[in-house]
A and B are shown apart, each in its own frame.
Chain A
Amino acid sequence: MKTILSAEKQTMRDGLSKTMLRLSQEDENVYVLDGDLGTSTKADVVADNNPEKFLQMGIAEQNMMSAAAGLATTGIQPWTFSFAAFLSKRSIDQIQVQIAQPKLNVKMIGGYSGLLTGLTGKTHQSLEDIAIFRTLANMVVLAPGDSKEVEKVMEFAHQYDGPVYIRVARDAYPILFDDDYTFELGKAVTLKEGTDATIISTGTQTSRSVEAAEKLEEEGISVEVLHMPSIKPLDTEAIVKAAEKTGAIVTAEEHSIIGGLGSAVAETLVEEKPVPVVRVGVKDRNSESGPNEAMLDKYEISPNHVADAVKQVLKKK
């Protein structure tokens, strides 16, 4: 069977830095605010190539987010860059009170989400950001699956008037989307058809889910893969449709199984169309630093773990 996953991998940061530079050049209102992680998030591309649109806000995330709110009231569209861990936990009060509730036009880029953060470990990984951000009223929460989709969601966020949180990752992933792809807010994307079960995945876990589904196909199990770049608003219609079609759901995310995509999907299904669900994610554990493959394996989110979850859910059908 031919894989839909590209051999070539690209980092989300490539799509992100290229698009951020372009938006800062094309729109006089777009400014980049950095919490002194520009060389990690790659917001430094704007500092290097369009320096008058780059605002260093120092190692002070709370002030950065409140200041972004103030800037937004003057007509500027601030794009704030930090790690997902710091945005979601260190400055969430500022984001709720001054950005989300007043629905100000601030964009938030949470870099280094999930577990694979370049050997940085527990303080710099982020397993809670989806859960935290999706509880905020007015918040749009997006988790693109590859570098191209990062570009597309950024273009959407630029056009959208209101707060948007975009969860991105550090390392390189297979290319899932091409230039013709159109991101639609609140819409799921079917990456692979199937009839026995559906894997609903988001962010970096989507390419691992495709890998798992393709492996299962070779074993004679037909698995649909539904990618959810938009966690809030959520495509509840697509979730219900998948449940009706395959009758068995696996969710997959590089995030805690508490409060993230798996919870959001389960909430929908419990109310609309109860079917067996197995959630793949980090299971209420604290994490550590370690090489990527070992981390995926120890924290039970590798393609093999996704495939095993599909087998488990099929037994519950």
Chain B
Amino acid sequence: MSTLLQEEQKDLLINKSKEARKQLIKAVNHAGAGHIGGPMSAMDLFINLYFNELNVSTEDPDNDNRDRFVLSKGHSAIGLYAALAVRGFFPIEELKTFDSLDSRLQAHPDMTILPGLDMSTGSLGQGISAAVGMALGAKLQNKEFRTYCIVGDGESQEGQVWEAADVASKYKLDNLVAILDNNKIQQFGWDAGNGKREIPAVNAHGRWEAFGWHVIDIDGHNHEEITNAFHEAKQVSGKPTIIIANTVKGKGVSFMEDTIKWHSRVPTDEELELGLKELEAGV
């Protein structure tokens, strides 16, 4: 597959993803709380959105014509904050306030206090509906902005996700792109029978297609594929697009990858050091 991504830009995205992952595990270690696995699996998506895809500006974060982004899986907030900080929406130093009293970096996103956040989320299933509203608002008012939304695969057990999918399709919202962070692990999940716990396989592609969406399957850690998918979504007319991003929970640190315990475990100082080293080296 040909790529639209130039080598230089690709290197930048890889480096920014690495930087944001480091900031993320440092922030969770510092706060003594927070999620790791989901933010790590979604990080390449965050970085591609904020450095490659979204029409947003740190100088004018509330611009009426900006592209909108909603993190429907709101518990991955620290991943989004790390990406926003690396992009320059607020000082990286502020990541140290994550989860603390009076911080703008709430455990789950609060749109009223942090510039660059387009919606408050945290209660699962709600963000994608708000994104539907934003995309519909753009259509009704002939505004050019596009709306993007990251949904979790565990989150997709919420019925509201499918209410949103249905209405987005009925209103032919081709200015809406949902991205499924398909990391296949949730907080506790189901017994996989092999000593692991998992999300039993669902036909995500078939489900979204049945709801009338254009479906693109990609490796969610490959910036070329992410970029191409965003480009393809722009060519689709008359229906919303879902990008099924196949990802690895805890991506980037070997001992965090694909293990349920890192859904929301806090790294010790030793684990943090090891993780930072691995991220620097690139696993």
A interface vs B, CB < 8 Å? Answer: 31, 55, 57-58, 60, 62-63, 65-76, 78, 93-94, 97-98, 101-103
Contact A73 B129 (CB under 8 A): no
Q: Using Cβ atoms and an 8 Å threshold, which residues of chain A touch B140? A: 31, 71, 76
- 6 additional A-B pairs beyond A66-B132, A70-B130, A97-B121, beta carbons within 8 Å, are A57-B167, A66-B160, A67-B133, A71-B134, A98-B121, A98-B130
Q: Using Cβ atoms and an 8 Å threshold, which residues of chain A touch B167? A: 57-58, 60, 63, 67
Contact A76 B137 (CB under 8 A): yes
> Which of A55, A66, A103 has a CB less than 8 Å from the CB of B129?
A66
Interface: B207 (CB within 8 A): no
7 residue pairs, one from A and one from B, having the closest CB atoms: A70-B133, A74-B137, A66-B129, A63-B163, A67-B133, A60-B163, A70-B130
User: Which residue of chain B is the closest to A28 with respect to CB atoms?
Assistant: B141
Contact B134 A94 (CB under 8 A): no
Contact A62 B137 (CB under 8 A): no
5 A-B pairs with CB atoms under 8 Å apart are A60-B163, A63-B164, A66-B160, A73-B130, A101-B112
Contact A70 B125 (CB under 8 A): no
**Given A70-B133, A71-B134, A98–B166 Cβ distance below 8 Å?**
no
Contact B123 A97 (CB under 8 A): yes
B interface vs A, CB < 8 Å? Answer: 64, 68, 70, 110-112, 118-123, 125-127, 129-138, 140-141, 143, 159-160, 163-164, 166-167, 170
Contact A67 B164 (CB under 8 A): yes
Q: Using Cβ atoms and an 8 Å threshold, which residues of chain A touch B68? A: 73
**Given A60-B166, A75-B64, A70–B119 Cβ distance below 8 Å?**
yes
Q: How far is the CB of A27 from chain B (nearest CB, A)?
A: 13
Q: Using Cβ atoms and an 8 Å threshold, which residues of chain B touch A94? A: 123, 126, 129, 160
A103→B120 CA distance, assembly (Å): 11
Q: Using Cβ atoms and an 8 Å threshold, which residues of chain B touch A68? A: 133
> Which of A58, A66, A75, A76 has a CB less than 8 Å from the CB of B130?
A66
Q: Using Cβ atoms and an 8 Å threshold, which residues of chain B touch A31? A: 140
Main secondary structure of the interface of A (DSSP, over half): helix
Main secondary structure of the interface of B (DSSP, over half): helix
Q: How far is the CB of A128 from chain B (nearest CB, A)?
A: 20
A76→B135 CA distance, assembly (Å): 12
Contact A71 B133 (CB under 8 A): yes
Contact B136 A71 (CB under 8 A): yes
A72→B136 CA distance, assembly (Å): 11
A-B contact count (CB 8 A): 107
**Given A57-B167, A73-B118, A97-B120, A67–B132 Cβ distance below 8 Å?**
yes
Contact A66 B126 (CB under 8 A): yes
Contact A62 B136 (CB under 8 A): no
**Given A70-B119, A71-B136, A74-B138, A62–B111 Cβ distance below 8 Å?**
no
> Which of B133, B138, B141, B160 has a CB less than 8 Å from the CB of A69?
B133
Contact B133 A66 (CB under 8 A): yes
Contact B134 A70 (CB under 8 A): yes
A66→B151 CA distance, assembly (Å): 15
A293→B68 CA distance, assembly (Å): 52
> Which of B121, B127, B137 has a CB less than 8 Å from the CB of A71?
B137
Q: Using Cβ atoms and an 8 Å threshold, which residues of chain B touch A102? A: 110-112, 119-120
Q: Using Cβ atoms and an 8 Å threshold, which residues of chain B touch A75? A: 64, 137, 141
Q: Using Cβ atoms and an 8 Å threshold, which residues of chain A touch B130? A: 66-67, 69-70, 73, 98
Contact B137 A58 (CB under 8 A): no
Contact B112 A103 (CB under 8 A): yes
Q: How far is the CB of B55 from chain A (nearest CB, A)?
A: 15
User: Which residue of chain B is the closest to A52 with respect to CB atoms?
Assistant: B140
> Which of B120, B135, B143, B166 has a CB less than 8 Å from the CB of A101?
B120
User: Which residue of chain A is the closest to B159 with respect to CB atoms?
Assistant: A62
User: Which residue of chain B is the closest to A91 with respect to CB atoms?
Assistant: B160
Q: Using Cβ atoms and an 8 Å threshold, which residues of chain A touch B126? A: 62, 66, 93-94, 97-98
> Which of A63, A65, A66, A70 has a CB less than 8 Å from the CB of B137?
A70
Q: How far is the CB of B240 from chain A (nearest CB, A)?
A: 13
Contact A62 B129 (CB under 8 A): yes
A70→B70 CA distance, assembly (Å): 10
